[in-house]
Amino acid sequence: MQTTIFGGGSDLGVHINGSSLGPKTILKNYQKKYVLLEQDKNIKKSLKKDDLKKNLSSLNEFNTKLYQEIEKENNYSIMVGGDHSTSIASGLASLKKNPHLGIIWIDAHLDYNTFKSTITGNLHGLPLASLNGLNQDLSKFHDGPYFDPKKTVVVGYRSLEKNANLEIENIKTMGVTVFTTNDLKENSITKIMNLAFKIATDNYQNDLHISFDLDVIDPIIAPGVSIPEINGLNEQEVFEITNYLTTKKDYIKSFDLVEYNPLNDINDKTLKIAQNILNKMVK
Ligand SMILES: [Mn+2]
């Protein structure tokens, strides 16, 4: 099967600059053709503390274009972000083409805030909730179904953010399954990934979308992200997860690789990991 790669060069969902440069850095030596979208360089990002919908209209404008590009493509697609808010576009575009998809969100964070629960207004904390149909101000470009929360799984959560209570409440109310980094470390990776795939594919009755946030990896190995979380996955565990994914490629309709921030990277450590994951996930 052919792969089409899209670069979602936006960091409009986060107050820290740099992840907008992620796709062009990761894809710089990529041999085949890809479609790169980049945010307008003239945009002045809102950094106001009390602005709880930071850069909403410029993000929507960006995601609308990204969604349209991905939606018209019939191949298996990989979207290289960008902060994680770009996955609202990639996930929904894939779902529009394949209405029964489940989703696995590999991430140190839940990304399950709503406009009500967010205290920062950084919209990269809202995408998974948005993919389940909450926060529809972030998905006006989409007129199809949303991901079924019963087929939505988070893998690798470990953040201890102060406001996480509300986010956890949101995710419980919706019925999303969460496996923590500890679950991965205390069981085998294969066991947890088997469970995640079973739930997201409804016992292998449907395909799925995978969204991989590089901050699930320990920041000692992968410092090049915007919101690092200590005690993450080690090299062996990342290897096992990505290898697992390659054995299940037949079920994976689309894949995101997000949150690479070259401005925070050290000696291209994170870049090498990101490029390695990308090469593994190409079909
Ligand atoms: Mn994320």
What is the secondary structure of 144-207 as a DSSP string? S----GGGEEEEEE----TTHHHHHHHHHHHT-EEEEHHHHHHS-HHHHHHHHHHHHTTTTTS-
Q: What is the mean pLDDT of the chain?
A: 96
Distance 84 CA to ligand 1 centre (A): 5
- Phi/psi for 34 (5° steps) reads -145, 165
For the chain, which residues make up each domain, given as ranges? 3-281
Residue 161: the pLDDT is 66
Q: How far is the CA of 82 from the centre of ligand 1 (A)?
A: 10
Q: How far apart are CA 234 and CA 232, in angstroms?
A: 6
In tens, the pLDDT along 163-201 reads: 678 899 999 999 999 999 999 999 999 999 999 999 999
Q: Which 8-state DSSP code applies to residue 116?
A: T
Model confidence at 122: pLDDT above 90: yes
Ligand 1 centroid–CA 223 distance in Å is 15
CA of 213 to the centre of ligand 1 (A): 5
Distance 48 CA to ligand 1 centre (A): 22
* pLDDT confidence of residue 162: 64
Dihedral sign (CA 112, 115, 121, 126)? positive
Predicted model pTM:
0.97
Position 151 confidence tier, pLDDT thresholds 50, 70, 90: very high
C-alpha 125 to ligand 1 mean position (Å): 7
Instruction: Tell me how far the alpha carbon of residue 209 lies from the centroid of ligand 1, in angstroms.
Output: 15
Flag whether pLDDT at 160 surpasses 90: no
Ligand 1 center to 107 CA (angstroms):
5
Short-list 127, 5, 147, CA closest to 59: 127
Q: How far is the CA of 167 from the centre of ligand 1 (A)?
A: 13
Tokens of 111: 């990304």
- Quote the ligand 1 centre to 72 CA distance (angstroms): 25
Per-residue CA distances from 174 to 85, 119, 121, 194, 240 (Å): 20, 20, 21, 22, 29
Taking alpha carbons only, the member of 70, 146, 135, 160 closest to residue 101 is 146
112 C-alpha to ligand 1 centroid (Å):
9
How far is residue 37's CA from residue 4's CA, in Å, rounded to a whole number?
14
Calculate how far, in angstroms, residue 126's C-alpha sits from the geometric centre of ligand 1. 9
* 202 CA to centre of ligand 1 in angstroms: 23
Residues 6+ apart with CB under 8 A from 57: none
May I ask the CATH architecture of the domain 3-281?
3-Layer(aba) Sandwich (3.40)
208-252 residue pLDDT tens:
999 999 999 999 999 999 999 999 999 999 999 999 999 999 999
Q: 158 CA distance to ligand 1 centroid (A)?
A: 12
All residues with CB under 5 Å from ion ligand 1: 84, 107, 109, 111, 213
pLDDT at 163: 64
* d(CA 227, ligand 1 centre) in Å: 9
Distance 80 CA to ligand 1 centre (A): 13
- Give residue 58 CA to ligand 1 midpoint distance, Å: 19
Ligand 1 centroid–CA 124 distance in Å is 7
Distance from residue 22's CA to the centre of ligand 1 (Å): 14
